[in-house]
Structure 1
Amino acid sequence: MKNALFVVVAMAVAAGLLAAGWYASAPQHLNRAAAAAVGAPGDAAAGRIVFFASGCGSCHMSPGQSDLLRIGGGRPIQTSFGVFYAPNISPDVTDGIGAWSAQDFARAVLLGVSPTGQHYYPVFPYSSYRRMTPTDVRDLYAFIRTLPAVSGRAPPGAPLLPYSIRRSIGLWKRLYAGARPFPDAPGRDAAWRLGRYLVEGPGHCAECHSPRDILGGLVAHRRLTGGRSPNGGSFAPDITAAGLKNWTTAQIAEALRTGATPRGDMFEGLMAIVVRNLGELPDSYRDAIAEYLKTVGAEDAPSGGVARQD
C-alpha cells in the first residue's frame, strides 16, 4: 500500500513538474502596445539604417556573392550545439518572409518566435534584439520589403540534444533572454544613450564579444570582455573601457568606419563584414558607439533584454 502511494505521489509530482515546464517554455506573444506600434506604416529610409546597424546581411546574405542586400540565406553557422543555416529573409513570398505580417516579423525579432509559434534557436541573436524599439523593428520590416526577392531555402539545421527539442529553448530564454530594461544612466547624454542602444540592442556586440557558459548563454558579469565567436573560430576581443584603454574615442569611430586600427592593420573575418555594415551608418552613430564603449565596464553592461515600448 505504501509503495503504491509513493508511486502515485511521485507520478503526481512528475506531472506537475512537466506541466510547469511546459507552461514556462511556452512561446511568447507581442504585448498589445508593441503589436499596435509595429502595425503602423513603417519608414523604409529609417529602416535602412536599422538594417545595417543590426547586421542582417552579415549572416543572411546569399552565399557566393557579396551584396549585403541579397538576403537569401543559406550560410552555415557551425556551433558547439550543432550546425545551423541562416534562413532566407528576403521578400520572396514562397521561400522568404514575403508572406509575413509586420507582427510576425516583430515577434521573430523581439521574442525569437516563428509565425507558426515555434522557438527560434538563439544563434539568431534575439536576446539582444529584444532591446530594439518596436518602431525600429517596424521600419526594418518596411525596408526589407523593398529589397530584391531571392528564391531558395536554406537546409534545415541539425542541433544536438537536448537543443533539438525546440520547446526546451523556451526555458533557455527564461534564463538568458529575460525582461531586464536598461539600467538608469543619470548624467549621460543623448549620444551615449544612442551608443548603448546600438551596442546592446541591434548591434548585438555582446553575442561575439562575451564568453558563454555551458548552456550557451552569455556570462553576465563578463559581458563584452571578449569571447569566441558563435562558430567557435576567431576570438573577439575585450571591448569594454578596460580593453580599449589604449584607443581614443576618435580611433574607435574611425576603425568602425574603415576597418583600420590604430596599429595600422585591418579588421579581418567577421569583423570586416561588421565594418561594411557600420560604414553605412551616419557618423554620429559610430561616434555614439565609441563614446559608450569608452565608458562601459563589464559590470555596467546590461545582462538581459526586453521588448521595449515607445
Structure 2
Amino acid sequence: MLKRILILLIVVLSAGAATLWAIAAPSELPYTAFEGLSDPDVANGQRIFAAGGCASCHSLEAAGEEGDDDAPPTLGGGHVISSQFGDFRVPNISPSDAGIGDWTFRHFADAMLSGVAPDGTHYYPAFPYSSYALMDIEDVNDLWGYLRTLPASDNMVAAHDVPFPFNVNRAIGLWKYLYMPEPNRVTLESADPMLARGQYLVEAVGHCGECHTPRDVLGGLETDRWLAGAPNPSGEGRIPNITPGGDIGEWSVEDLAYYFESGFTPDFDSVGGSMADVQRGLAQLPEEDRAAIAAYLKAIPAR
C-alpha cells in the first residue's frame, strides 16, 4: 500500500511540475496581432516616446554621461536598476548592432507587449512590460518607427547581476501568470473619453504604477493600492501617493496639468529626483494629453 501511495504521489507531483513548466513557457504574439498595421506614424511615435519617459532610463545621460538637451536622445543604455532581486542593467535600444538595429518589428512588439526576447526567453519585469502589455499595437508600431530615427550607439551593456533563484528564466513565466494585468488597473465610473485617454497614458504608456504602487514580496504590483505610494527603489525616501487621498489630494486638475508642463507645484516648489526626467517628457505632450492624465488622477479611488 505504501508503495502505491508513493507512486501516486510521484505521478501527481510530476503532473503538477509539467503543468507549471507549460504555464511558464514564453508566449509570443499571434500573427493576427500584426494584421492591418500600416507604416509607422513617426510623429505619434515621438508622442508615445515622451509619454513613456523612455529616455529617463535608456539614454546615455541616465547612465551618467553628459548629453546635449537640444539633441535627440541617444538610447545607449547602461543605467543600473538595483532591487532586492539583483541589479538590472538597462539595455541599449538604439538602432545599432549593439542595440536593436537587427530587430524586426515583431521582435520589438513581442518585447513590449509580451516581455519575450528575440531568442525566445523571458525578459525580467524590471522592464515594465506588464504595463506596456496594455498598449495598442498601433502605438507600439509608431514608437518603433520613431526609435529607428534616433542616433545609434555602440555602447555594449553588461549582463544583469541576478543571483539564484531569481536567475531561473523559466520562473519569470510564472510571475507573468500571476501579475500580467487585466484590461485596466482600476474601473472608472465615467465613460468620458478624456478619462479613458488619461487611463491609457497613465496605466499603459506612462507605466506610472511601476513606481507609485506598492509591491508584494514577489515584486508584483498591489493593484488594490493603485498609485498609493511606495518605497523608492534607490532607497532614498518614498515615491509619493498620487491618488486623491494622498500627496496631491489638494491639487486641482489645472494644478496637475501645469505641474506636468512646467515642473512647478502649486506651492512653487520644483520637481526633483527621478520625476524630473519624467516631467521633461510630459512637457513635450500636447496640452490635451496632460489634461487627460490630470483628470484621470483625480478620478481614481483615493488611497
Give the TM-score band, short-chain normalised: over 0.9
1:174: which partner in 2?
177
Deviations 1:63-89 (A, max 9, x none): 312457210000111111100000000
CA distance in 1, matches of 2:36, 2:180: 22
Deviations 1:9-68 (A, max 9, x none): 232222111110111011111133322255x32111110001111111111111312457
Q: What is the 5 A alignment of 1:202-281?
A: 202-243=205-246, 244-281=248-285
CA contact (8 A) 1:223 1:298 kept: no
The reply on whether 1:78 has 2:82 as its aligned counterpart is: yes
CA distance in 1, matches of 2:297, 2:161: 36
Structure 2 counterpart SS, 1:153: coil
CA contact (8 A) 1:79 1:232 kept: no
CA contact (8 A) 1:240 1:293 kept: yes
Distance 1:37 1:120, change over 3 A: farther
CA offset at residue 246 of structure 1? 0.7
Letter in 2 for 1:165: V
1:297: which partner in 2?
301
CA contact (8 A) 1:37 1:138 kept: no
Q: 2:146 aligns with which of 143, 152, 165?
A: 143
Letter in 1 for 2:124: Y
CA distance in 2, matches of 1:45, 1:115: 26
1:119: which partner in 2?
122
Deviations 1:209-260 (A, max 9, x none): 1111111111111010111234443411111122222101111011111211
Q: 1:107 aligns with which of 105, 110, 114?
A: 110
1:69: which partner in 2?
73
CA distance in 1, matches of 2:135, 2:104: 18
Identity rate of aligned residues, in percent?
A: 41
CA offset at residue 183 of structure 1? 6.7
CA contact (8 A) 1:225 1:240 kept: yes
Structure 2 counterpart SS, 1:254: helix
Letter in 1 for 2:45: G
Distance 1:262 1:231, change over 3 A: same
CA contact (8 A) 2:91 2:157 kept: yes
Structure 1 counterpart SS, 2:170: helix
CA distance in 2, matches of 1:226, 1:289: 17
Q: Which moved more, 1:159-168 or 1:175-184?
A: 175-184
Structure 2 counterpart SS, 1:46: helix
CA distance in 2, matches of 1:247, 1:15: 56
1:89: which partner in 2?
93
1:6: which partner in 2?
5
CA offset at residue 293 of structure 1? 0.5
Tell me the matched-pair count. Answer: 296
Structure 2 counterpart SS, 1:83: strand
Distance 1:170 1:75, change over 3 A: same
CA contact (8 A) 2:130 2:180 kept: yes
Letter in 2 for 1:245: G
2:156: which partner in 1?
153
Q: Which moved more, 1:54-63 or 1:172-181?
A: 172-181
Instruction: Give the CA RMSD over aligned residues.
Output: 1.8
Where does the alignment leave 5 or more consecutive residues of structure 2 unmatched? none
TM-score (normalised: structure 1): 0.90
CA distance in 1, matches of 2:263, 2:51: 16
Distance 1:172 1:37, change over 3 A: farther
CA distance in 2, matches of 1:232, 1:24: 34
CA distance in 2, matches of 1:181, 1:197: 9
Letter in 2 for 1:55: G
CA distance in 2, matches of 1:249, 1:212: 27
